[in-house]
Amino acid sequence: MSRHLSLIFKNSLRNKRRSVLTILSIAVSLCLLGVLMALYHSFFHSEAPEEQALRLIVRNRVSLANPLPLSYKQRIAGVNGVKDVMVFQWFGGTYKDARDPANFFARFAVDPEKLSTNFPEYKMSEDQWKAFLSEQTACIVGRKTAARHNMRPGMRVVLAGDIFPVKLQLTVRGIYDADRDNENMFFHFKYLNESLSQGQMDHVGTFSVRLERVEDAGMVAKAIDDMFRNAPLQTKTETEKAFELSFIAFLGNVKAFLLLICGAVTFTILLVAGNTMAMSVRERVREVGILKTLGYTPGAVMGLLMGESVAMSILGGGIGLGLAYGLCAVLRESPSMFTDMSRITVPPPVALIAMGVAAAIGILSCVVPAYNASRRPIVEALRFTD
Amino acid sequence: MSEWVIETRNLTKEFRRAQFKIPALKNADLHVQKGEFVALMGPSGSGKSTLLHLIAAMDRPTGGEVFVMGQDVGKLSEGAVARWRNAHIGFVFQSFNLIPVLTALENVELPLKLTKLGKSKRIEHAKKALDVVGLSDRLHHAPRQLSGGQEQRVAIARAIVTDPDVILADEPTGNLDSGSAQDVLTLLGRLNKEFGKTIVMVTHDPHAARTASRIRYLDKGELLPEGQVPEDWALTIPAKE
């Protein structure tokens, strides 16, 4: 087949406009497919980073909207395999104008003295950590959010609560860096707790549990939930990664949704490519007769026609994957909403699958017209007029 | 092993059109010796091209046998017959049938791509074939950049590049002006005389037929006995010199 690459290439460019449009349609579809598969991979198949794998989240078994008593913290800390427990309270609220989505970023009330040990991936200078710990109204923000809102140490930030009917007057004391998840704001839980009414005080939405060893995650989660099985407020303990995914689940069956769109995109492009290849082969039935007269077997003729179709699909797939990488780069820079997108990319397995899909489209779209043309008797093929 | 390069026995071909059977060739017995140049003549629909296609194994007979170089081509599978055709038959069409996206050199190289020859050898052979037909200066021209006569000469170069035993030409001058037609006939004559190629040529043109060493006539699907000419054609055939 390598001897015929030049013929395949030249045939592919025979009708330039049609070839370019076909390649582009495959490229756009494969780009969409690549991004969707990258999202799917990122949500459901990517390994949690080591630091994240060492963390569990404990919440109320009923729902996130139902808090747990602060007193659970000490009891969780006593479970075998638990290294440390930190309050991890979602604040929500509004920064400046809630109507502008750019003003959205995650805000958490935490135990500040435990943040650097529970989240060692957050890097900040020693002075800034000290400043954060020493002042109850201090807060720190991730580099990305700080850059977006032009926040600097010393700057005053006002958060108007919604879940919690309080107005927090915070001072930025540090800007942290992290490979992922560097868009959050953290402040003292104590400040929030003391601002709350008696009814809301001493209750926590979630606890972040740091494990001694990653392998103990299942055992520790079960031990925590078992400990509160007969308590009035039962717990649900899961890995931080699973906890993140539960937010995506708010949107519905995202897994099925993504797979369905991937399937629809693949099927649609298969029809488009199939139509194009059928036209292309039909225009060349006479040449099939010529090739067979020269001694080309039906198999060789079929190989040439399919090679052309696969070449166009692979080229389209390559361009599409390039676009998908670009789109993922844009997504990485966009604000996180339901889950951390800061590391989304098209990983090699996804790229391989996408190229495999492109090759399959090339084969499937051409197999029937190529087979029919290659089996047509020579005399009939030579007399064929389109 | 037969003494004939081409031998057909009771060769019959019928085409089916709906419920009708249309006889295209009836019990044709043709014998061609090595180095002969035979012209097949006859009116339209007389079965000339059908006979040529059957000899080249481009079509399957309804009855009878075709032996080429002693090989019963009807018994070969589709793949085997394709390989056999590549090795033993060179075919020249009336309408040239070059691949439009390939240059003259690439068109001539095409049949060699099915052989075991390396790239440099293939190019060498293709250039040589184009040299034989007098087109050494048109190697990289696309078919659309060539005249009809030049295109047909490229097609002849493509037919001879594998050094086949038999060259079959189906009205090779049918689409050419008289000057180009004469060039092509001269070339075929050279291939027969200088290179000893066995040639069977279908033609309508009495002048073209005179290039051949022997003429056989077909009429209404029947191959007429040696020397017999269809009655209504007799007056139009000039005497052979």
**Which chain A positions have a beta carbon within 8 Å of B83's beta carbon?**
295, 297
Give the separation between CA A38 and CA A45, rounded to whole angstroms: 10
Q: What digits encode the pLDDT tens for the residues B157-185? A: 999 999 999 999 999 999 999 999 999 99
ipTM computed for the complex:
0.92
> How far is A20 from chain B, CA to nearest CA, in Å?
17
Mean of per-residue pLDDT scores for chain A: 90
Q: What is the pTM of this model?
A: 0.74
For residue A297, the model assigns a pLDDT of: 95
B78, B112, B160, B167, best to mutate vs chain A, most A CBs in 10 Å: B78
From B78, B86, B101, residue closest to A11, measured CB to CB? B101
Number of domains comprising chain B: 1
Please report whether residue B123 resides in a domain.
yes
Is residue B102 over pLDDT 60?
yes
For residue B234, the model assigns a pLDDT of: 59
For residue A124, the model assigns a pLDDT of: 95
Please report whether residue B132 resides in a domain.
yes
- Chain A within 8 Å of B22 (Cβ-Cβ)? no
Percent of chain A with pLDDT over 70: 97
For residue B237, the model assigns a pLDDT of: 56
Q: For residue A335, what pLDDT band results from cuts at 50, 70 and 90?
A: low
List the single residue in A with minimal CA-CA distance to B60.
Answer: A377
**Which chain B positions have a beta carbon within 8 Å of A290's beta carbon?**
93, 97, 99
Inter-chain residue contact A14 with B114, CB threshold 8 Å:
no
For chains A and B, what is the number of CB pairs under 8 angstroms? 66
Token digits of residue A46: 């990517």
Range of the domain at B96: 33-61+69-223
Q: What digits encode the pLDDT tens for the residues A119-137? A: 999 999 999 999 999 999 9
- Chain A within 8 Å of B113 (Cβ-Cβ)? yes
Q: What digits encode the pLDDT tens for the residues A235-289? A: 999 998 888 877 777 777 888 888 899 889 889 988 988 888 899 899 889 999 9
Please report whether residue B228 resides in a domain.
no
Sequence-distant (6+) residues with CB within 8 A of B78 are A297, A298
Mean of per-residue pLDDT scores for chain B: 92
- Assign residue B75 the CATH number of its domain: 3.40.50.300
For residue A41, the model assigns a pLDDT of: 84
For residue A26, the model assigns a pLDDT of: 93
Q: What digits encode the pLDDT tens for the residues A293-328? A: 999 999 999 999 999 999 999 999 999 999 999 999
Token digits of residue A100: 């502008």
Q: What digits encode the pLDDT tens for the residues A277-286? A: 899 899 889 9
Please report whether residue B129 resides in a domain.
yes
Please report whether residue B24 resides in a domain.
no
What is the rounded average pLDDT of the residues A44-61?
86
Inter-chain residue contact A295 with B86, CB threshold 8 Å:
yes
CB B79 within 8 A of CB A297: yes
Domain ranges in chain A are: 2-47+253-383, 62-233
In the three-class reduction of DSSP (H, G, I as helix; E, B as strand; rest coil), residue A338 is classed as coil
For residue A336, the model assigns a pLDDT of: 63
A:255-314 residues touching chain B, CB 8 A cutoff:
286-287, 290-300
Please report whether residue B238 resides in a domain.
no
CB A73 within 8 A of CB A204: yes
Distance of CA B83 to the CA centre of its chain: 17
Is residue A81 over pLDDT 50?
yes
List the single residue in B with minimal CA-CA distance to A298.
Answer: B79
For residue A338, the model assigns a pLDDT of: 57
Inter-chain residue contact A294 with B158, CB threshold 8 Å:
yes
Sequence-distant (6+) residues with CB within 8 A of A273 are A22, A25, A26, A309, A312, A313, A361, A362, A365, A366
Is residue A44 over pLDDT 90?
no
For residue B235, the model assigns a pLDDT of: 53
Inter-chain residue contact A295 with B78, CB threshold 8 Å:
no
- Per DSSP (E only), the strands in B60-213 are 63-68, 71-72, 89-92, 166-170, 198-203
DSSP state string for A153-168: TT-EEEEE-SSS--EE
> How far is A270 from chain B, CA to nearest CA, in Å?
27
- Chain B within 8 Å of A73 (Cβ-Cβ)? no
From A10, A14, A294, residue closest to B86, measured CB to CB? A294
Q: What digits encode the pLDDT tens for the residues B124-134? A: 999 999 999 99
Q: For residue B236, what pLDDT band results from cuts at 50, 70 and 90?
A: low
